[in-house]
Amino acid sequence: MPFLMKSTHLYSKVVHGLMLLRNRQINRHVVVFESDDWGSVRMPSLEVKHRLEAKGVKLALPQSYDSIDTLASNDDLEILMEVLTSVKDSNGNSAKITLNTCVANPDFEKIKASGFKEYYYEPFTQTLNRYPHHDRAFELWQEGISKGLFQPQFHGREHLNPQKWLRYLQNGNKEVRAAFDEGCYSLAVINNGIKDTFLEAFKIEAAEECDFVRKSIKEGLNLFEQLFGFRSESMIAPCYTWDEYIEEESATNGVKFIQGGYIQSHSPWQRSLGNRITGHYNGEDNCREQYYLVRNCSFEPTQIASDNADSCMAGIDKAFRRGLPAVVSCHRLNFIGDLNPANRDNNYKEFGQLLKMITKHYPDVEFMSSDELGRLLIKA
Domain 3-40+71-110+132-158+209-379 has CATH 3.20.110.20: yes
Query: pLDDT tens digit string along 257-275?
Result: 999 999 999 999 999 988 8
Average pLDDT over residues 196-223: 97
CB atoms near residue 190 (< 10 Å)? 11
Torsion angle of the four alpha carbons 262, 66, 118, 138, in this order, in degrees rounded to the nearest 10: -80
Is the bond into 341 cis (omega within 30 degrees of 0)? no
Please state the domain extents for the chain: 3-40+71-110+132-158+209-379
pLDDT surpassing 50 at residue 229: yes
Q: What distance in Å separates the CA atoms of residue 266 and residue 272, rounded to the nearest whole number?
A: 10
Q: What distance in Å separates the CA atoms of residue 137 and residue 217, rounded to the nearest whole number?
A: 25
On average, the pLDDT of the chain sits at 93
- SS3 (DSSP) at 151: strand
Confidence category of residue 63, pLDDT binned at 50, 70, 90: confident
pTM recorded for the entire structure = 0.94
The DSSP code for 147 is T
Q: What distance in Å separates the CA atoms of residue 103 and residue 36, rounded to the nearest whole number?
A: 12
Query: pLDDT tens digit string along 8-39?
Result: 455 455 555 556 657 788 999 999 999 999 99
Q: What distance in Å separates the CA atoms of residue 380 and residue 372, rounded to the nearest whole number?
A: 13
Contacts of 216 (CB under 8 A, 6+ apart): 156, 157, 158, 162, 201
pLDDT surpassing 60 at residue 166: yes
Q: What is the pLDDT of residue 22?
A: 72
